[in-house]
Amino acid sequence: MNSLKKTMAPFLLAFALFSATGNATAANLLINGSFEQPGCANSCILDTTGEADFITGWTTFLSGAEYFNVAASIRGSVAPEGVVIVDLANSVYSNGGGVQQNFATVVGAKYRLTFSAGNSVYANRSGEGVVQVKVAGQTTTFNTPAARGSVVEWATMTLDFTATTSRTTLAFSNEQNPYTNFAFIDNVIVERL
């Protein structure tokens, strides 16, 4: 019996430590951060007020956004999480596009935003673009990775912020020429630090 205890003790300790660290991971405070709900078979242009709440948990603003299955639309490309992504450079209009979400926060608490930004030269785009982020009174502009080919290239972006209200709005936008630039986003996560 003692040898069984000696043999099992390291495994039980490892399991307990693994379980404890698994519980220490913070949960995403956003709804549908990977934009998978409700989904779009190929490409959906969300450019009317009736479509503003089409993406579960998110609301479009400015001229809306393009919402699409990246693998079905740009051959060889994959999304960082799931299959559906958002392009903030809505190609139907030239006055910019955006998505936003409100979520519960604690005044004075620190949070970390993480998201994937992507780009491509598909359809004669430049392969460069910007993603503007507004959250908790701060505005930050991120450059997407400079793409050299049609396959979408992704990079992970992070931004730390402190909540100033009990409900915080996170907004992503792009106001570049949509016929020259893409501004893809996916896998949006907000965690309390």
pLDDT, tens only, 107-151 = 999 999 999 999 999 999 999 999 999 999 999 999 999 999 999
pLDDT, position 50: 82
Burial class (CB in 10 A: 0-12, 13-18, 19+), 159: middle
Spell out where the chain has E strands.
43-46, 59-62, 65-69, 84-87, 97-104, 110-119, 130-135, 138-143, 153-162, 167-174, 184-192
- The answer to the question of residue 121 being in a domain is yes
DSSP for residue 126: -
What's the CATH number where 186 sits?
2.60.120.260
- The answer to the question of residue 79 being in a domain is yes
Helix ranges (DSSP H) in 63-147: 70-73
Q: What is the mean pLDDT of the chain?
A: 88
- The answer to the question of residue 142 being in a domain is yes
- The answer to the question of residue 185 being in a domain is yes
How many whole angstroms from its chain centre is CA 19? 27
What residues pair up with 66 in beta bridges, in sequence order? 45, 87
Domain count for the chain: 1
- The answer to the question of residue 95 being in a domain is yes
Q: Which domain holds residue 63?
A: 28-192
pLDDT, position 25: 58
pLDDT, position 107: 98
Spatial distance between the Cα atoms of 189 and 44, rounded to a whole number of angstroms = 23
- The answer to the question of residue 16 being in a domain is no
Write down the pTM of the prediction: 0.85
- pLDDT band for 6, please (50, 70, 90 cuts): low
pLDDT tens-digit series, residues 35-51: 999 998 778 888 888 89
pLDDT, position 47: 83
